[in-house]
Amino acid sequence: MKDINIAIIGVGTVGKSVVKILQTNKDILKARCGVNLVPRIGISRDIDDKELKSLGIPLSTNIDDAFSDPSIEVIVELIGGVELPYEIALRALKSGKAFVTANKAMLAYHRYDLEKQCKNSAIGFEASVCGGIPIIKILKDGLGANHILSLSGIMNGTSNYILTKMSKSGLNFKVALKEAQDLGYAEADPTLDISGGDTAHKLLILASIAYGINAKLEDILVEGIEEISQIDILFAKEFGYVIKLLGIAKKEIHSDEVELRVHPCLISQDKLLAKVDKAMNAISVVGDMVGETVYYGAGAGGAPTASSVVSDILEIARSKTSPMLGYMSSHENTLKLKPIESISSKYYIRLNVTDKPGVLSDIALVFAKYKVSIRTLLQKETWEQDKTHKKDLDTTCIESKPKHATLLLSTHICAELDIQKALNEIEKLICVVCKPYMIRLLD
């Protein structure tokens, strides 16, 4: 029986799990693709690592060793970063080797460059979005008969872990982040997780497959969870919502615009996505024929991510190469990004105000001017110091101005441009003591 030799460049948490799957599940893998999948060499900066040595595969610190062995047919890149992985990808494809990666940041920048280069070689990137959920194959193949009307989901395990712990255990933001890091969910630079950047990378990849749109990171709305505080979570609970960081893509069937955005959302606690806790991920995809479908699973962590990496190796071994982003013909199409200002939504707003007569009417007047209709309103007369989330802005405002009140309100659907204008004007009112905080609301 033929062997397919594999080089793994970057043998950290995910890389070690890839080797373990290839070793532990070798019989089932052989049965599924008809060849032996052999981890031939691991490239790592730390080849003295005990756990790595115990895997019993040849190791090297030199990336060239993955390329100099002509028997290696598949290069797996798991080092992270952008430019070096891109160079490795080009080198693999130029030397006729298949390339597999879990690297969403690199793909967010270079997926179309790579697609041009990979006409005769296979490239797999299932693990780049939502860890163990096979969402790439679902969009490329399983839902291939559909126009995708929308996809929205929780695509970052770390931020979902933090939001869950803040909501269910009242945990401090930093403590929850540290826990997520210790569990191996977070990026090397965790600001990518909490700022929405990691979700945006994944959304861009999914949008390429769902719509064939070559959108760029700097052109889409990206907001993170850094400013969410316990008081926002309290409001959400009071009105039957939970707060989740979502990546959202939408396209009406006859429209030539695609809406792409990443931001925290209040979602009704009855929705499936609302029940997705800790580091789990879930994506809802609505197709014009199939209706809504929902995919749930581990979005981060060694074994789940490695499961997706090995599924790509398996597909390559079966010689089922298909166009990288799923389109046979050119998709330099006429679709364009919908401007952020022209989206519409319901909104949740937190305002810190002086507690005196006329304040509510001043604020209501501004909302009325911009056709923003208030749906629910909660006023907290005084607010104890938020002991679990030390966001400077919040605590400064709350601690130093005891006669202030916090207004928590939600709106009916209105235009993003109108709410932005209203909030800019409200921020300038004398009675408003902090920059208003807004979260988009989905129900």
Is 131 near ligand HSE (CB under 6 A)?
Answer: yes
Residue (93 or 136) nearer to ligand HSE, CB: 136
Distances, alpha carbon 438 to alpha carbons 157, 248, 264, 301, 315, in Å: 23, 17, 9, 31, 44
Give the torsion through C-alpha atoms of 180, 186, 192, 193, to 10 deg: -40
Phi, psi of 353 (to 5 degrees): -135, 160
Q: How far is the CB of 207 from ligand HSE (least distance, A)?
A: 17
Binding footprint of ligand HSE, residue count (CB under 6 A): 11
Decide: residue 426, CB within 10 A, 0-12 exposed, 13-18 middle, 19+ buried.
buried
Evaluate whether 287 touches 146 at the Cβ level (below 8 Å): yes
162 forms part of the interface with ligand HSE (CB under 6 A): no
Q: Which of 44, 103, 121, 158 binds ligand HSE (CB under 6 A)?
A: 158
The letter for the amino acid at 299 is: G
Smallest distance from ligand HSE to CB 256, Å: 31
Of 132, 157, 224, 302, the one binding ligand HSE (CB under 6 A) is 157
Nearer Cβ to ligand HSE (277/427): 277
End-to-end Cα distance, the chain:
55
CB of 432 to ligand HSE, least distance (A): 35
Site for ligand HSE in 294-313 (CB under 6 A): 299-300
50 is catalytic: no
Nearer to ligand HSE, 157 or 224 (CB): 157
* Selected catalytic residue, list 97, 202, 250, 251: 202
In degrees and rounded to multiples of 5, residue 74 shows phi and psi of -130, 130
Report the alpha-carbon distance of residue 264 to residue 11 in Å, rounded. Answer: 33
Sole window of 156-164, 220-228, 336-344, 356-364 interacting with ligand HSE (rule: CB under 6 A) = 156-164
- Residue 228 · residue 270 · CB < 8 Å: no
User: x-or-dash pattern for ligand HSE, window 171-210, by CB under 6 A?
Assistant: --------------xxx-----x----x------------
- Residue type (1 letter), 78: L
d(CA 3, CA 125): 22
Residue (228 or 414) nearer to ligand HSE, CB: 228
State yes or no: residue 164 binds ligand HSE (CB under 6 A): no
Catalytically annotated residues? 202
Contact residues toward ligand HSE (CB under 6 A) are: 131, 156-158, 185-187, 193, 198, 299-300
